[in-house]
Amino acid sequence: MDTTETAPLRSAPVSEARGRRWRRFRNSDLAPALVFLSPWIIGFIWFQVYPICAAIYYSLTAYNLMRPPKFIGLANYQQLFGNDPLFRQALVHSAIYALVSVPLDLCVAFVFACLLNLKIPGRAIFRAAFYFPVVVPTVATSILWVMLLNTQGGLVNVALSVLHIPAIPWLTSPNWTMPALILLSVWTIGPPIIIFLAGLQDVPKELYEVATIDGAGPLGLVRHVTIPLISPVILFNLVIGVIAAGQIFAQPLVIFSTTVSNTGSADIGGPLNSVLMYSVQLYYEAFQQFNMGYAAAMAWILFAILAIFSVVAMRLSNRIVHYE
């Protein structure tokens, strides 16, 4: 059979169908919507999708900005887990920081949110005061805390001396650098306080009245009414807090790099690398050693850890989080 005559007959219905689909698309509301969304779509692809794909590729290469990337497979990941003690040290420090600072920040933020939810004079002023540290640039607050925690003449140690407590080497002793960094995290609990306040204001007051009639005291109201009803808010603050703690960068870099430069030490994470955080180590590999492929592999490992934690937290929360 000669197919030269049937080919145009077969292609004609296909082209007509495509034309009908294009006319329906052009006449629908989807076409103008895509036109209006095109700047965002282009920006999303260029600034989000492309960097993600590039980071995946670079993590599989040896790339130092001076030469073209050379594909090496999983060698970067093998180097990280097998022959890089600083990577393991930074991972452990970040885990310790997250495990201690996040519960501490949540507890303090919850207590202050409960207090700020009461009808007290000047409540709006107090709420703004607790959120104010978040507005101040992180570098400025870090430099301020360097002066406050200075062993010689720092206001914190001056206050301790009034109580006849010896000066604490917050920034120079490997035993005190991590506690100092954890305590500094309480300085920026403004966002969780605001989120807790929003959750507390949604708790029906009738439940408090019923529980009070049943004989519940203040702690009983918090335990049996407040916490169960704002458990979704607690879960949200927990997940966001762990993600933020895993990526902490500016505070340890500014505070302890200043201390290191004054003491002449070559450690990049404070005295004896006692507060070498994961993001600081990643920054060191990328922008001081120019191991971009190696740093990209570190970034994806951090992403995987935080993603796994988020998924596990959401799955385990079904038993203890009460949604309306």
Distance (Å, whole) CA 81 – CA 89: 11
Q: Provide the 8-state DSSP code for 67.
A: S
* SS3 label, residue 183: helix
The single residue listed with the structure tokens 């937290």 is 313
How far apart CA 193 and CA 212 sit, in angstroms, is 25
HSE-CB for 131 with a 13 A CA cutoff: 15
C-alpha dist (Å) from residue 90 to 146, 275, 283:
22, 8, 12
Q: What is the pLDDT of residue 123?
A: 85
Instruction: Report the chain's C-alpha Rg in angstroms.
Output: 28
The whole-angstrom separation of Cα 39 and Cα 228 is 43
Q: What is the pLDDT of residue 215?
A: 87
Q: For residue 1, what pLDDT is reported? A: 46
Spatial contact of 216 and 182, defined as CB atoms under 8 Å apart: no
Q: What is the pLDDT of residues 291-310, one digit of tens each?
A: 999 999 999 999 999 999 99
pTM of the prediction? 0.86
Residues near 240 by beta carbon (within 8 Å), at least 6 away in sequence? 192
pLDDT given for residue 19 in this prediction: 65
Mean residue pLDDT of the chain comes to 87
Per-residue pLDDT, 27: 65
| Cβ neighbours of residue 195 closer than 8 Å, sequence gap 6 or more | 233, 236, 237
From start to end of 20-141, where are the E strands? 61-62, 70-71
Give pLDDT, residue 237: 96
Taking the chain (324 residues) in consecutive chunks of 10 residues, what is each chunk's mean pLDDT? 49 63 66 82 94 95 92 95 93 96 96 90 87 90 91 90 92 93 93 94 89 88 91 95 94 76 59 92 92 96 96 89 78
- Residue 216, class by beta-carbon neighbours within 10 Å (0-12 exposed, 13-18 middle, 19+ buried)? middle
State how far the alpha carbon of 264 is from the alpha carbons of 139, 257, 259, 274, in Å.
21, 10, 9, 16
